Copies of this chain bind each other. A is one copy, B any other.
Amino acid sequence: MNKEMSETLVRTGPGTRMGNLMRRYWIPVLMSNEIAEPDGPQVRVKILGEKLLAFRDSEGRPGLIDEFCSHRGVSLFFGRNEENGIRCSYHGLKFDRNGKCVDVPSAPQSCARMNIKSYPCIERGGLVWAYMGPPDKMPEPPELEWATLPPSHVFVSKRLQECNYLQAMEGGIDTAHVSYVHRYEVDNDPMHKDTKALDYIKADGNVIFEIEKQPFGLTLFGRRNGEPDSYYWRITQWLFPWFTLIPPFGQHSLAGHVWVPIDDHNCWAWSINFHPDKPLSDEERRDLEQGKGIHCEYEPGTFRPKANKDNDYLIDRQAQKDKRAYSGIFGFAIQDASLQESMGPIQDHEAERLLPTDKAIVMARRMLHEAALGLEQGIEPPALNVSAQHVRAAGVLLERSADPTEWAKEHLADSRSQPVYSI
């Protein structure tokens, strides 16, 4: 990837090409329960390089406004969340969730020129989503399956990953790496127990990939030998601009990620587990809350993993030797983070040497690049029609002669009319 393309893809601040593209989609900014109470504590949020403040107003509506007061530039984090607005602690200026200045105690007539930036918010799937693009271009609310389910059916966590979103997201697209860094993790994890699929995966390390371009992004088909007359197909999706979907193992839950830039050196790795048709069991929820599966444990009071670059991700060389952890590091999330952060805050794309298994990554990069350049030319971004988001991941045994893309068209394109396909 040349310098121009790399810079286009990794820079997401205001006014950048990729930043402009991303601002045309609804963006997960924080969990609804981070601003649980009306008039409760406001929270600092940095998204796409912008320092913002999230709060829930007296009527329970989420707001996302500039972190700083228009008057002297003081952080509204130290302000008061009261009566449908945040009041600055320095001189009492007050702003509502639309950034409108509703009070300047010493000079009421000045209100009109004191308004601050704000972004509209909605809540779906336990998250607050914001729209940070041109007001007249706001798309429909997201309809990813997990975002439309009742809270009982979904578990969502977020985790700070200290690198550019692109190299993090590419790990989500690149299922080829599962056979390496995650190899022994499946034996450690409750989300993988008692499934036939694991036997197939262990028996056949030589995955064959097919990739299909879609209006929403990409569908990836990973083929392993199943029974003598069948293949085990794992079918995953990447959706514009930052979603990935993961099929379950056996009766376990479906999963997915969102990779959202905080700034160009950090991103939020959102991780989701869900059942489309039933609540997560108490046991499942307990495991997820403990950081099992694709989730993790945290440094107290933060969303930074307990295992992080400052402690070499708690690497255990004996566990590596004993083949309990391929790289000596435990947990799917931390295994990925360790490798992706080790590339540096922004991977040197000019130095990489890609392999055939990077095909999906190359396609995703090209699609993002094309969309970013296209937007500059006035071409509307792809996948704004949310019906495209109704897809679902699956793991299925198909006859060796079957065409998985035909099967997927029929069974995964509109998940709402289908059972979960998983073995």
Given contacts A79-B327, A343-B73, contact A355 B110 (CB under 8 A): yes
A110→B353 CA distance, assembly (Å): 10
User: Are A339 and B78 neighbours in the complex by a CB distance under 8 Å?
Assistant: yes
Query: What residues of chain B lie closer than 8 Å to A338, measured between beta carbons?
Result: 78
State the CA gap A356–B109 with chains docked (Å): 11
Shortest 3 CB-CB distances between A and B: which pairs? A75-B342, A89-B327, A89-B181
* A 303-349 contacts with B by CB, 8 A: 312-313, 315, 317, 320, 326-329, 335, 338-340, 342-344, 347-348
- On whether the beta carbons of A355 and B91 are closer than 8 Å, the reply is yes
Confirm or deny: A60 has a beta carbon within 8 angstroms of a beta carbon on chain B: no
**A386 at interface (Cβ–Cβ under 8 A)?**
no
Contact A342 B41 (CB under 8 A): no
Q: Which of A's residues lie within 8 Å of B, judged by CB? A: 40-41, 68, 70-75, 77-80, 88-92, 104-107, 110, 113-114, 167, 176-177, 179-181, 205, 312-313, 315, 317, 320, 326-329, 335, 338-340, 342-344, 347-348, 351-358
Within the assembled complex, what's the spacing in Å between the Cα atoms of A353 and B106? 14
- Interface on chain A toward B: helix, strand, loop, or mixed SS? loop
- Asked if residues A91 and B177 are in contact (CB atoms below 8 Å), the reply is yes
Give the distance in Å from the alpha carbon of A265 to the alpha carbon of B348 in the complex.
Answer: 23
User: CA of A353 to CA of B114 in the docked complex: distance in angstroms?
Assistant: 7
Q: Kindly state the separation between the CA atoms of A37 and B88 in the bound complex, as whole angstroms.
A: 47
Check B74 against A339 for contact (C-beta < 8 Å): yes
Check if A74 sits within 8 Å of B355, measured CB to CB. Answer: no
